[in-house]
Amino acid sequence: MKPALLLCAILAPTLIFSPALAQQGHHQNHVQVTDEDSAVHIHSAATTPISIMGDHVHEKGGWMLSYRYMHMSMDGNRNGTKELSPLEISGDFANVTGVGPATLRIVPTEMSMNMHMLGAMYGLTDNLTLVGMLNYIDKDMDHVTFAGGNPDLQIGNFTTRSQGLGDTKFAGLFQLLQNDNHALVAKAAISLPTGSVKERGTILNPMGALQSVRLPYAMQIGSGTYDFEPALTYSAHQGLWGWGAQYNARIHLGENSQNYALGDKHKLSGWAGYQWHENFAATLRLTGETGGKIDGGDPQIAGPVQTANPDFYGGERLLLGFGINFVENSAASETHQFGAELTLPLYQDLNGPQMQRDYGFTLNYRLTF
Ligand SMILES: [Cu+2]
């Protein structure tokens, strides 16, 4: 990722909306804000995109339970910024540094991932909130197989699937700064390797035979390592507008039991949100992300396919997110919030050949009490 692009990710929403930031509105964007003069709590919709996690803390004794559904779709392949057809990958690419044969006769064409996340937050003090999160993940990947002796001859298609409990996360969120308009929250999380790294599936090999293999890294459910996930989130609101920025990372600590570590990831997001109704807000987000290649390799993951090569992982992306948040008006002290966000790729520079990102979306329900 060029520094300029990362800077754009942060600045663009702020610049786009800056003329309007001077406006004064009647609502505050705090979910916990109540109308002092009324017995009825007035909640207003959050102006932070739903895909941004760890942006807030809860008051001492406050709880939040959440369910999040994330879908991510991948379609086609690229090397660097150039798109590649399956025929180009089968014919032109050597698998020189990878494990297994020197050719790539099996080419993934589409992939989808679904993630169900259950989360709980609890305010231990006004400035420290504890978080726990469980994930359930399913993945499927479609492939075409070309003949071992003829890179132009397609001999069939197959799909592999994997599913299971993902990595489990525990986090502490520390409120570093909070006043009427600004908040700064630091997150320190540990990810436990509860997700499987030994998923198996059946492939159609270039000899035309069905074969049971350990699935490539992209189809495994967990990282297999203990991971450190730090984040720092700034958010602000004024009138009907909100904006903010977040840095977060996933750092893999050591190697897993199968002798590798996934590439570390770093993400920088910038966003703006506008509360166009007391109960609704719209959000716009830009995220720049960078990820490394896989370090090491699982000797049981081999084959004439790009996803079995640790070097064909990682790269840089710029993503655009459009979101909507809703909060229910309620006289009770609990609030129900819903959020949805659609994510589209703007730019991808990948260590390829590698599958490229297509659309994704996140749906979220939160209960605060
Ligand atoms: Cu919360």
Q: How far is the CA of 9 from the centre of ligand 1 (A)?
A: 25
pLDDT, position 1: 40
Q: How far is the CA of 337 from the centre of ligand 1 (A)?
A: 11
User: Between vectors from CA 243 to CA 241 and to CA 244, what angle results, nearest 5°?
Assistant: 160
Residue among 113, 207, 119 at smallest CA distance from 162:
113
Query: Structural domain tally of the chain?
Result: 1
pTM score, whole prediction: 0.85
Tell me the pLDDT tens digit for each residue of 303-360: 899 999 999 999 999 999 999 999 987 767 788 999 999 999 999 999 989 999 999 9
Per-residue DSSP letters for 132-160? EEEEEEEEEEEEEEEETTEEEEEEEEEEE
In terms of residue numbers, what domain contains 266? 3-368
Query: Are 187 and 276 spatial neighbours (Cβ–Cβ below 8 Å)?
Result: no
pLDDT, position 132: 98
Q: How far is the CA of 49 from the centre of ligand 1 (A)?
A: 13
**Strand 150-165 relative to strand 128-147: parallel, antiparallel, unpaired?**
antiparallel
Q: How far is the CA of 214 from the centre of ligand 1 (A)?
A: 38
Q: How far is the CA of 345 from the centre of ligand 1 (A)?
A: 27
Q: How far is the CA of 59 from the centre of ligand 1 (A)?
A: 10
pLDDT, position 38: 35
Q: How far is the CA of 173 from the centre of ligand 1 (A)?
A: 10
Amino acid identity, residue 25? G
Q: How far is the CA of 189 from the centre of ligand 1 (A)?
A: 15
Q: How far is the CA of 31 from the centre of ligand 1 (A)?
A: 10
pLDDT, position 30: 42
For the chain, which ranges sit under pLDDT 50? 1-42
Q: How far is the CA of 120 from the centre of ligand 1 (A)?
A: 8
Q: How far is the CA of 231 from the centre of ligand 1 (A)?
A: 15
Kindly list the protein residues that place their beta carbon closer than 5 angstroms to ligand 1, a single-atom ion.
64, 121
Query: Are 123 and 58 spatial neighbours (Cβ–Cβ below 8 Å)?
Result: yes
- Separation of alpha carbons 279 and 52, rounded Å: 19
pLDDT, position 43: 55
Query: Are 194 and 256 spatial neighbours (Cβ–Cβ below 8 Å)?
Result: no
Q: How far is the CA of 129 from the centre of ligand 1 (A)?
A: 8
Q: How far is the CA of 27 from the centre of ligand 1 (A)?
A: 20
Give the E-state strand segments of the chain in sequence order.
63-80, 82-84, 106-123, 128-147, 150-165, 168-178, 182-192, 200-204, 210-214, 226-238, 241-253, 260-261, 265-277, 280-291, 295-296, 315-327, 335-368
Q: How far is the CA of 219 from the centre of ligand 1 (A)?
A: 30
Which CATH number belongs to the domain containing residue 245 in this structure? Answer: 2.40.128.130
Q: How far is the CA of 224 from the centre of ligand 1 (A)?
A: 27
Q: How far is the CA of 58 from the centre of ligand 1 (A)?
A: 6
Q: How far is the CA of 12 from the centre of ligand 1 (A)?
A: 27
